[in-house]
Structure 1
């Protein structure tokens, strides 16, 4: 598992925020198309059938698939960086971080200016605590913090 220092995680925020926005936009667009197609199916069922522009429906389904794939690919990009996407809808990310020989998670939510919180894996988002000096001090041994 890749771990990040506070500075490393902080430096990734602009790229990650852009990726999150792209994934959220794609997910939202796919959901809108899915809702439109579901409503069309409901209307067809309720009316016992109706004339449908098959080409238009096919284009909508193709577009929905394209948006779904784009969202999945973007989430994969975030995962490949080593960052954990916890909630796409609110843009919640966790960055594994070693502090005092323990792996904890630096926690950031879209809209926050910087990474100001951390939590243990067990505590989750509800157990967020303010980042303290332990995260700001760098050890001499590479990616490790004391």
Structure 2
């Protein structure tokens, strides 16, 4: 399992957010086309048959499949980076991170400006806790502010 420092995860946010938006939008478009095709199927069944623009239905199906594939591709890219997709509907992602010898998850949700939370592997979203100094670079933690004279 790939792990990220807080800084690495933060720097990846623009990339994974873009991929996540692409996946979400592609899925939304695919669902819309699927609903339209299902509505057509119901109308045909309830009316006992009807004239159908077969070419248009074929184009809609092909377009739906394209959107499904685009969503899958975007999600696979996120996964290949090493980021875990927890909930596509809310845009919830986890970045595995090692802190104090333990693997935890840096937790980010679409709409958040940066990664401000983490949780243990077991806790999930409900167990989110604010990022603390353990996640900051050791050098930054060791630097003490100078005292005024």
TM-score normalised over the length of structure 1: 0.93
1:14 matched to 2:47? The reply is no
What is the number of residues matched between the two proteins? 139
Post-superposition offset of 1:61: 0.2
- More displaced stretch, 129-138 vs 105-114: 129-138
SS at match of 2:34: helix
Aligned equivalents of 1:130, 1:98: Cα separation in 2: 16
Aligned equivalents of 1:78, 1:9: Cα separation in 2: 12
Q: Residue 146 of structure 2 aligns with which residue?
A: none
Q: Residue 54 of structure 1 aligns with which residue?
A: 54
- Over the aligned positions, Cα root-mean-square deviation in angstroms equals 0.9
Q: Residue 44 of structure 2 aligns with which residue?
A: 44
Aligned equivalents of 2:4, 2:30: Cα separation in 1: 33
Q: Which has the larger radius of gyration?
A: 2
Q: Residue 122 of structure 2 aligns with which residue?
A: 122
Matches within 5 A, 1:1-146: 1-138=1-138
Aligned equivalents of 2:29, 2:35: Cα separation in 1: 10
Aligned equivalents of 2:43, 2:36: Cα separation in 1: 11
TM-score normalised over the length of structure 2: 0.91
The superposition leaves residues 102-128 of structure 1 with CA deviations (integer Å, 9 ceiling, x where unpaired) of 000000001001100000111001110
Aligned equivalents of 1:55, 1:90: Cα separation in 2: 36
Moved over 6 A (4+): none
